[in-house]
Structure 1
Amino acid sequence: MQRFTGKTVLVTGGNSGIGLAAAKAYADEGARVVITGRDTASLAQAQAELGPAAVALRNDAASLPAARTLADELATRGIDLDAVFINAGAAKFAPFAEVDETLWDANFDVNVKGAYFQLQALLPRLNDGAAIVINGSINAHIGMPGSSVYAASKAALISLAKTLSAELLPRGIRVNVVSPGPISTPLYSKLGMDAATLEATAAQIQAQVPLGRFGSPEELASTVLHLSARESAFIVGSEIIVDGGMSQL
């Protein structure tokens, strides 16, 4: 299937995990892929995996000037977009009593402010009829202890998809959310836990998934592509949860 032949897509945070899986899936279906990320080495590796047609740009998803710089760089290269996957995100957790402004900003600067103003900066680069997919989280729904700030930031994104859809539909631009449950990505290794605690936490999470396992980045990527493709043209301002039943049962 080549649903994206002749299309150009942008994946923020496309240098690892879910973002890289989505970028590969787009490329496999014929898309020209642009990826962003902060780490130069992983960006270079991802670009090599995606092939010579891919474009890799270093970008800080929390920075408003960087959001404008990315849009300007695309304009300079003559790149207009048919799909955008806003995937770059931060996940910082702490019990409510221990949350401080630094942790709040670490989540909201990337997940909400960065995403919002990146999309705003990209508006002139979006073709009419483009699709935007935002990476949410089931944490916006399940009330997991220690996730209050992260969950609130993802809930804001889910709301954002509805309001932006209402504003952008005159151009035929759809905005939807894919909300993953536990997915096997490098994110879990970045939570600041020692190996034993990380293993115990992963086992505890897995026990709550009816399917009995973590999902794969490729499984989530398939939903991202579905929401980006013409086949989902009647899905607007919606959220698809991909969590092995964790939030449903």
Structure 2
Amino acid sequence: MEHLKGKIALVTGGNSGIGYATAKELKAQGAEVIITGRRKTAVEEAAAALGVTGMIADQGSVNDIEQLAFAVGQQFDKIDILFINAGVLENTTIENATEAAFDNVIGVNFKGAYFTLSRFIPLLNDGASVVFLSSNTASMNAANSSIYSSGKSALNAVMRIAATELAPRKIRVNSVSPGPTATEIMNKAGYTPEQLSQVNAWILERVPLKQIGKAEDVAKMVAYFCGEAASFITGAEIVMDGGMSL
């Protein structure tokens, strides 16, 4: 069903993982989709495979974000859906944390997400939908996750405040917080196959539904938030983690 026909959607980090799956789902529901990413070849290949528009931008750079907003405004004028998804992962204890790791994770996951929303607000049509990709770790307290978890927790705070600020324009702002999901982010974080196997086994022990999440399921939830069925939902966080955070 083309529930989003006539809508223009922007997905940051849309060349892989949850971003790619969401771009595919939004397009299947009738939206015209723009994906972004910082790797030119990856974005171009993903855009061609999906049949969408690809634009190069690093969410960790406010200058890139501002240039992206200008380019989108020039080509599309306004957008109806903004999925702020791009993110990075680095795990470390607080004691061993480096400034570089902190700046990388917070710079992309929080600062970058914040300024993506900020700079795209003028391009949002009244009645638009904004969705942040957060994480179930925003409300959990696992060792080695202090930087990533605190960034996602801060993101949820911004989501709720943005929902209040943008309500007069009927712009809804929500977040989806997946638990463990089968994407490339763990590989990008430098885990070896053996380490990934150990991590997955550890995860399955703690997930009541005994399964790893799928990017396609997260995509459907994002699309739901963007559709008419969610027209009375704003400032909400949906946790999708198989019960892990219970």
Q: Is the 8 A contact 2:160 2:173 kept in 1?
A: yes
SS at match of 1:207: helix
Provide Cα deviations, 1:5-28, integer angstroms capped at 9, x if missing partner. 011000000000000000000000
Q: Which amino acid in the other structure matches residue 78 of structure 2?
A: D
Aligned equivalents of 1:41 and 1:125: distance in 2? Answer: 27
In 2, the alpha carbon distance for the partners of 1:215 and 1:113 equals: 26
Q: CA deviation at 1:38?
A: 1.0
Q: Please report the TM-score for the alignment, with normalisation by the length of structure 2.
A: 0.98
| Distance in 1 (alpha carbons) for counterparts of 2:49 and 2:165 | 36
Determine helix, strand or coil for the equivalent of 1:96.
coil
TM-score (norm 1): 0.96
> What's the CA shift for 1:89?
0.8
Distance 1:20 1:89 in 2: 13
| Alignment size in residue pairs | 246
Percent of pairs identical after alignment?
40
Say whether residues 1:217 and 2:193 are aligned partners.
no
Name the structure 1 match of 2:72. Answer: 74
Question: Helix, strand or coil for the counterpart of 2:129?
Answer: strand
Q: Which string of whole-angstrom CA distances, capped at 9 and with x for unpartnered residues, describes residues 185-218 of structure 1?
A: 0011112222212211121112211111101100
Residues 1:8 and 2:8 are matched in the alignment? yes
Counterpart mapping for 1:98-109 below 5 A: 98-109=96-107
Residues in 1 aligned to 2:130 and 2:170: alpha-carbon distance in whole angstroms: 11
1:158 aligns with 2:156: yes
Q: CA RMSD in A?
A: 0.9
Residue 142 (structure 1) shift: 1.6
Question: Which contiguous aligned blocks of 4+ residues in structure 1 show a shift greater than 6 angstroms?
Answer: none
Unaligned runs of 5+ in 2: none
108, 115, 139: which one aligns with 2:113: 115
User: In terms of mean alpha carbon deviation, does 39-48 or 211-220 score higher?
Assistant: 39-48
Q: Distance in 1 between matches of 2:44 and 2:204?
A: 32
